[in-house]
Amino acid sequence: MASQTEFEQRYGFRRNEATLANWRFAPYSKWSFQNAGEFVPSAGIACADCAVESPAVDPGTLLAQPVAIEGRQETVADFLQRSDTDAFVVMKRGEFVGDYFAPHMDHAAAHIVFSISKSLTAILAGSLEAEGLLDPAAPVTRYIPEAEGSAYGDAAVQHLLDMTVSLDFDETYLDPDSAFGRYRRAMLWNPGSGQETLLPFILTIQKGLHPHGGPFRYRSPNSDLLGVILERASGRRYAELMRERLWLPLGAKRPASVTVDGEGTARAAGGVSVSPRDLARVGEMMRLRGVVNGRRIVPESWIRDTLTVGSEAAWKTGDFAHLVENGRYRNKWYQTGFDSGAFFAIGIHGQWLYVDPSTEVVMVKMSSQPEPVDDPLDRQCVAFFQAVSAML
């Protein structure tokens, strides 16, 4: 075990300075994003073959390649460093062709991916739908009768999947006294937790002024509620579903985990931690239309729906229209609207899974960006992925 001096040299602070109150803030996030389970109770997700991951692939000349990001000339390495990248992994036609790890990031460490968790949760939903265990068109109350009287009382499961639920709730990440701060206490992510658990809190949220099915409104409680629905529809715990329906058939090489609240309810919207390469394997499965190593994880029809269906109007009038002009959101995955057919999953603090079917490239970027949301940098990341994909 590293001595305190070695820890300080690697991370720039003492281990005991990272606490529940600051684990998502710089500089502590450089370590805590690889160790979320030391702050928040977590359920393990076992891997199929937990052998040591093969050595990192030297990115060779990739890091020195020039990229132009919004008129700014820099190298790939420059961009990775200025965007607080912890890990950057590139696959081409299913092979790892480059791995970059910051000095503070362990090669095979599981890193929290925040809202990429939503996209992983949606894959589980697609798997259950294929077996007739989940009906996206069904009302939420079929699976959670106690949702009657809440915002979700007249919502369908597909509204959750597409983020078109009308909620009287805002994602105010940095205000501890807001409803979002209460939400984070319910999930045990903030000090002062323990008075309320996740599902009871979600069911206090009331409906917004407009009908469900309107603009894309990014609200994380929708995805946590979806996680509960998956458990009730399948009779299995979230971590068990992830292991049985994704991690084992995927051939994941490293264990994963998901944070849970005081009742064991999984943080399906943002609590999953995975290794960079295993996340890339998820992207490759999506690129291959639901198949990995000859084994089907989700139907091709579900992949096609996820990557081609979705409301343009909901996107253009929604929360993230600034990110990609002609994008769409379907089943918790983002479509770019680019000719390449590229799509992605994204999480706060700079987590990305970007897939470009036209070049057969998958990229994972895990980061510890100081700000949870940085719109200008997010747009630059999209441009960066386009540039790297083109050069490969």
CATH at residue 373: 3.40.710.10
Q: What residues does 291 pair with on adjacent strands?
A: 296
pLDDT tens digits for range 204-258: 999 999 999 999 999 999 999 999 999 999 999 999 999 999 999 999 999 999 9
- pLDDT above 70 covers what percent of the chain? 98
Out of 29, 32, 42, 115, pick the active-site residue. Answer: 115
Domain total of the chain:
1
Within a domain: 13: no
Its pTM stands at 0.96
Within a domain: 17: no
Assigned token pair, 214: 């309107």
Task: Tell me what pLDDT residue 202 has.
Answer: 98
Within a domain: 21: no
- Where in the sequence is the domain holding 219, given as residue range(s)? 29-391
Residues contacting 373, CB < 8 A, separation 6+:
173, 348
Task: Tell me what pLDDT residue 347 has.
Answer: 98
Within a domain: 360: yes
Within a domain: 122: yes
Catalytic site includes residue 115:
yes
Within a domain: 74: yes
Q: Can you list the residues of the chain whose pLDDT is less than 70? A: 1-4, 51-52
Within a domain: 148: yes
Within a domain: 186: yes
